Structure 1
Amino acid sequence: MSSEHDRAVLQAIFNPSSPLGDAAAAAAGPAPGAATEELADDDRGFDAAPLAEVKALEARGVAAAEAGDLQAALHHFGRAVLILPQRPSAYNNRAQALRLQGNTAGALADLDLAISLSGGVGRTACQALVQRGLLLRLASRDEDAKADFDKAAALGSEFARQQAVALNPYAALCNRMLTEVIAKLRNPEASV
């Protein structure tokens, strides 16, 4: 029997694109109150042969991106999209490569497609929502980012939950006040 740590390590190996905080959560299953759909089963309804080919192309694309060859990664992800254009995973992966290449508009377009094709449920939707939330946050579109993080948190992403809390203005105010109180308690002479 494997431990939670072992499952988290395997999750990080087999899903290297997920935020680090989500590896343990994905290995342990959905968070309490999370949507009950099977998060790991984004491949229902696809024929086995083309699905296997697309998964192999995506694996090659991830390996190429990790090796720094973004052109090859984009080529592999593009071929995967051509074979199964209704499968959201390749769009999500291609968005990561586009983002690394500096093509934020292209990344956002692919993330929108991944979220739409997934129906906003499942592992790919969760990852795409987190990615899009991060890009929106970088663009100072905090309300839109928070909406994406809230949706991803509902799908079980602990990282998204933390980001949504950080974007809550009341939580930020409370955190700042708490930080000041703790600082005063640690160094009472400085507050005089």
Structure 2
Amino acid sequence: MEDIRKLMEELQLETFLSVNDIPELDLYMDQVIQLFEKKYTVTKRKEEDKVLTKTMINNYAKGKLFFPVKNKKYTKEHIMLISMIYQMKGVLSIGDIKKSLGKLNMMVENEDFQLEALYERYETLGTHNVARFKETSEQLDSEIAEEDRYIRQLLMVASLTHMSNLFRKAAEKIVDEIEEEKKDS
């Protein structure tokens, strides 16, 4: 059990860009990158990994994953959307992210939708997800505690990737529902 708790600590699972971390002032791209680097550096797998790059942000903008930027400055709403994209991109394709966020972008841009309230709800769900993940991981670890160290590691990897695939498939199915509802309306 000690190994799994140590792993959970090393993963820095509670690292999340909160509403309070995002300045009220609009930021230039380099400042957005610095904000993400400062927050997420502790979560990088390798030292040389980049958290966010100009190319990534430009690709998100070209792909219309968020509403257009004005005067090369990113608003608090842009940064919240980039943060959501940052979290989703590890699991979903850029196309699926665009489908997921398309209506939200229109709402923010056209209807004066209060994205901050949604983002705060997203933060709360993220905190709950971390707690559930830790609990599930500890349960899984206890189920395989009798095994040899390598076999435990292998079973943990196989089980975690299986669960990841289950969650990804469920997320993709919901994206498909969003796309279907968009076609129907």
TM-score, with structure 1 as normaliser: 0.25
| Higher-RCO chain (CA-CA 8 Å, sequence separation at least 6) | 2
